[in-house]
Amino acid sequence: MPSFSAGASTQKQQNYQRRRQQIREQRKSLPIASVEKRLVDEVRKNDTLIIVGETGSGKTTQLPQFLYDGGFCQDGKVIGITQPRRVAAVTVAKRVAEECNDQLGKKVGYSIRFDDSTSNATRIKYMTDGLLLREALLDPLLSKYSVIVVDEAHERTVHTDVLLGLLKKVQHSRANASKNGKALPSMGHSQNLTQKACQGTRCAPLKLIIMSASLDAKCFSDYFGGAKAVHIQGRQYPVDILYTYQPESDYLDATLVTIFQIHLEEGPGDILAFLTGQEEIESLERLINERARLLPPESSKIWTTPIYSSLPSEQQMNAFKSAPAGTRKVVLATNIAETSVTIPGIKYVIDPGMVKARAYNPVTGMESLIIIPVSKAQALQRSGRAGREGPGKCFRLFQESEFDKLVDSTVPEIKRCNLSNVVLQLKALGIDDIIGFDFMEKPSRTAILKSLEQLILLGALTDDYKLSDPVGHQMARLPLDPMYSKALIVASEFKCLEEMLIVVSMLSVESIFFSPREKLEEARAARKGFESSEGDHITLVNVYRAAAECLEKSKNANAKERTMEKALTRWCRENFINHRSLKHARDVHSQIQGHVQQMGLNLSSCGEDMSLFRRCLTAAFFLNAAMRQPDGSYRALATSQSVQVHPSSVLFRTKPDCVIFNELVRTTQNYVKNLTRIDPLWLAELAPQYYATED
């Protein structure tokens, strides 16, 4: 009926107009809106500027638009904004594209590892800090950028710290190049690269903006030679802070109880709970939904929505939607929601006071993941999330006396992680003197030396610390941990790259298996179907292949893409596989496959010869070998550390004599995860540089 369709389109038009109006008003009401002109002027006047402003004041979404309007994208130049987290880059780019009334990928886009939405038309580009570091490998002067904004600098991730050092150099080189009218190879890059980067372009000086949510602008200002800092007045409503009377022994359970307490006793407003990772978020989500079923029919409903870095981006966006009427939104987030993204509607914050962090032992060279108490600065940021739109409440699930014991701010990650990746990247950028590199905060000498040693053992560096050819160059090109990059190169020699590609993709995501508490037995039985007695790596290969087979079947039945996706979702449910993680692993797989094909590596399979594949795993991960001790524990050979097999491993019960592993997790004990049984004799044979005896 023509009259009906006309009505619908008018309705649509009205909705659209209303949305535009809403966005315009919301933008105008942000604290940053009133200082637009001043900020643009400051950027014009200063090559380096530090901007400090409360979370939610509009730094990330607005500043790049101000600069665009202020003419910083003339001659096709791009404004780059780096984020420590993938989620933030994606959600913010989507939001800004909408604000600009444009499709994502045109004027505004994002680029993160394994996912790029930008085009030649992109002028405002959100990306992870790690990705910009990779771009510097190809374009050492970052010549397409007029402005680079390093956002969330207070987080001090390892990439941010390295990037700051690098940008300082790039800025210097570009200033010199534009002064002299030509490129100077002053970064230590090979001359031809530098010249190529500047060919045909005038290398205008690079504007650098460091943005931070916390108040310690001084350290950034000092590092950039006394750079100017501007503060944006935020708008913050009072937040009531509540502590527990007793210590909580199980913070997940305490979070669950608190959520329902708020839901039943407090007024309207959404809840934001901070957890440490995907696994915790997913298990809490299930517990909430189970318990929500028991709510009395007259009470309002609960809608849970998770947000963490490896969550596929369509699902991340759910957290920004408002809950349907009569429903309370409960956002389960990692520390991503501390400062990186602002979720509207939050009135209640639950802070168990814990965070998952990398930890590193520079003497043994072992990196591990541990769950530790947050810093005071983090706890303050978390509670601040409750006061964005009105007065709020923050429930800290620890005692007030514990708050005083927290450290003031988190130690920069560069001081507590394995530096192999950093060192490899810097070497590939032509920066040879790693110890002399101008880090904002220097990592320990021992840690740098240990990483150099590790890279030599992996064959990425020669004995005189130069990037080896071709292995070192190849490894630097892959967006992976050096040990994984090495594994792919070794696998191509062993003719089992297909299998290793699957393993590396599956290891790049969290928790493939999923075991709901109420269906533990069924989950266990389903997993049996994939298990290999050789260990977890081959088990992961089996899962991946079974999923691929499921997709293949529905493809052969000429199913449409959506039907195929549905078939896979069903398959995952039936087999107790985490669909989100598998989807992510498949994305990672297709991206790395692209990289290795470009590198000309040989994509072959070892077929049924799993002993060949285990030998290949040994050759790749020899630094992570462990021998069983008489008491059933294991000793990591490289570090002499005592470790236990994690209960999630298929080798938990069999406990073979010798294994290689991929991950070390510290809780009450040192646990190793993702193991494969190997023959101890293979170590000396396949990694003689490390295990051969010298007689």
Q: Which stretch binds ligand ADP (CB under 6 A): 52-60, 462-470, 665-673, 687-695?
A: 52-60
Can residue 385 be called a binding residue for ligand ADP (CB under 6 A)? no
Amino acid (1-letter code) at residue 135: E
Residues 23-82 that bind Mg ion (CB under 5 A): 59-60
Q: Which residue's Cβ lies closest to Mg ion?
A: 60
**Amino acid type, 447:** A
- Considering the complex, what minimum distance in angstroms separates the CB of residue 60 from Mg ion? 3
The DSSP line for 302-336 is: EEEEEE-TTS-HHHHHGGGSPPPTTEEEEEEE-TH
CA dihedral 513, 515, 520, 524 (to 10 degrees): 0
Give the residue with the Cβ less far from ligand ADP, 342 or 649: 342
Tell me how far, at minimum, the Cβ of 314 lies from ligand ADP, in Å: 13
Question: CB of residue 337 vs ligand ADP: minimum separation in angstroms?
Answer: 11
Residue 258 site contact among Mg ion, ligand ADP, none (CB < 5 to 8 Å, cut-off depends on kind) = none
Nearer to ligand ADP, 214 or 418 (CB): 214
Among 55, 157, 316, 425, indicate the residue that binds ligand ADP (CB under 6 A): 55
**Of the candidates 344, 459, 516, 680, which one interacts with ligand ADP according to CB under 6 A?**
344
Binding segment for ligand ADP among 57-65, 108-116, 246-254, 418-426 (CB under 6 A)?
Answer: 57-65
Exposed / middle / buried, residue 176 (Cβ in 10 Å: 0-12, 13-18, 19+): middle
Strand order across the 207-212 sheet: 115-116, 108-112, 124-128, 78-83, 145-150, 207-212, 48-53, 228-232
30 near ligand ADP (CB under 6 A): yes
What are the beta bridge partners of residue 80? 125, 148
CB nearer to ligand ADP: pick between 28 and 562: 28
Which of the choices ligand ADP, Mg ion, none does residue 639 contact, using the CB cut-off of 5 to 8 A by kind? none
Q: Residue 56: name its binding partner from Mg ion, ligand ADP, none (Cβ under 5 to 8 Å by kind).
A: ligand ADP
Token couple for 128: 């992870």
By C-beta, is 61 or 554 nearer to ligand ADP?
A: 61
Residue 52 or 619 with smaller CB distance to ligand ADP? 52
- Strands 634-636 and 642-645, by their bridges, are antiparallel
Minimum Å distance from CB 477 to ligand ADP?
32
Residue 469's Cβ-count burial label (10 Å; 0-12, 13-18, 19+) is: exposed
320 near ligand ADP, rule: CB under 6 A: yes
Of these, 61, 128, 454, 649, which contacts ligand ADP (CB under 6 A)? 61
Distance of CA 22 to the CA centre of its chain: 31
Question: Of 169 and 388, which has the nearer Cβ to ligand ADP?
Answer: 388
The interface region with ligand ADP, picked from 11-19, 49-57, 136-144, 584-592 by CB under 6 A, is: 49-57
Check: CB of residue 309 under 8 Å from CB of residue 277: no
Cα–chain center distance at 415: 18
With binding defined as CB under 6 A, does residue 64 bind ligand ADP? Answer: no
Footprint of ligand ADP on 77-106 (CB under 6 A): 91, 95
Residues 351 and 383: beta-carbon distance below 8 Å: yes
**Contact of residue 122 among ligand ADP, Mg ion, none (CB under 5-8 Å per partner type):** none
Q: How far, in Å, CA of 291 to CA of 299, rounded? A: 13
Minimum Å gap between C-beta 53 and ligand ADP is 5
Q: Which of 117, 173, 342, 492 binds ligand ADP (CB under 6 A)?
A: 342
Closer Cβ to ligand ADP, 53 or 373, answer by number: 53
Q: Give the pair of three-digit tokens for residue 389.
A: 């739109």
- Partner from Mg ion, ligand ADP, none contacting 482, C-beta within 5 to 8 A by type: none
Task: Give the sign of the dihedral formed by CA 324, CA 328, CA 331, CA 332.
Answer: negative
Q: Taking each helix axis as running N to C, give the angle between helix 445-457 and helix 420-428, from 0 to 180 degrees, rounded to the nearest 10.
A: 80
Based on CB atoms, which residue is closest to ligand ADP, 91 or 118? Answer: 91
Could you write out the DSSP letters of every residue in 182-218?
S---TTS--HHHHHHHHTTS--PPPEEEEEESSS-HH
Residue 173 binds which entry of Mg ion, ligand ADP, none, CB below 5-8 Å type-dependent: none
Residue 670 interacts with Mg ion (CB under 5 A)?
A: no
Smallest distance, ligand ADP to C-beta of residue 7, A: 29
Contact 163, 171 (CB under 8 A): no
Q: How many CA atoms lie within 13 A of 676 on its CB side?
A: 25
Q: How many residues line the site for ligand ADP (CB under 6 A)?
A: 15
- Candidate segments 55-63, 66-74, 117-125, 660-668, binder of ligand ADP by CB under 6 A: 55-63
Closest CA to 82 of 172, 157, 175: 157
- The DSSP line for 48-97 is EEEEEE-TTSSHHHHHHHHHHHTTTTGGG-EEEEEESSHHHHHHHHHHHH
Q: Which of 598, 607, 593 is nearest to 495 (CA)?
A: 607
By CB under 5 A, what part of segment 236-265 binds Mg ion? none
Closest CB to ligand ADP among 338 and 481?
A: 338
Q: Which of 35, 52, 60, 128 binds ligand ADP (CB under 6 A)?
A: 60
Which one, 185 or 344, has the nearer CB to ligand ADP?
A: 344
Closest to Mg ion by CB, 152 or 534: 152
As a whole number of angstroms, the distance between CA 685 and CA 334 comes to: 43
Alpha-helix residue ranges (DSSP H) falling in 215-323: 217-223, 251-265, 278-292, 313-317
Rounded Cα–Cα distance for residues 679 and 508 (Å): 26
Which spans of this chain sit near ligand ADP (rule: CB under 6 A)?
A: 30, 53, 55-62, 91, 95, 320, 342, 344
Binding site for Mg ion (CB under 5 A): 59-60
